[in-house]
């Protein structure tokens, strides 16, 4: 897999406003938010797209969803969604698997 901006963020060579980090994942604020809360959740394992996920990666995928739930709860989001773009025609711009957590706070 080629080097991406997310690889550099994971190595902390590029600054990011990190909302969560653990052994398997990192979540940080998107620099071009599409909702009041817009986080990117990425695995530390380099996987190009969701289409490249293997059976052995299922615990990681489940973990990412749990991270999204925990972040939504901690940020007291009233409504939220997860978006994953797959492939260039699917809108994917960075070829490192990432989940967009888009959320709306209580008003």
Residue 98 annotated as catalytic: yes
Q: What φ, ψ does residue 13 adopt, rounded to 5°?
A: -85, -25
Out of 20, 96, 98, 100, the active site residue is 98
* Residue 14 · residue 8 · CB < 8 Å: yes
Question: Chain centroid to CA 29: how far?
Answer: 9
The catalytic site residues sit at 98
């Amino acid at each position: 897999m080629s080097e991406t901006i997310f690889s550099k963020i994971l190595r902390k060579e590029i600054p990011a406003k990190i909302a969560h980090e653990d052994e398997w994942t990192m979540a940080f604020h998107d620099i071009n938010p599409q909702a009041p809360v817009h986080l990117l959740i990425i695995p530390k394992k380099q996987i190009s797209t969701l289409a490249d996920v293997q059976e052995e990666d299922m615990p990681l995928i489940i973990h990412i969803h749990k991270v999204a739930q925990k972040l939504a709860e901690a940020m007291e989001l009233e409504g939220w969604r997860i978006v994953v773009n797959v492939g260039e025609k699917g809108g994917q711009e960075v070829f490192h698997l990432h989940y967009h957590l888009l959320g709306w706070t209580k008003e």
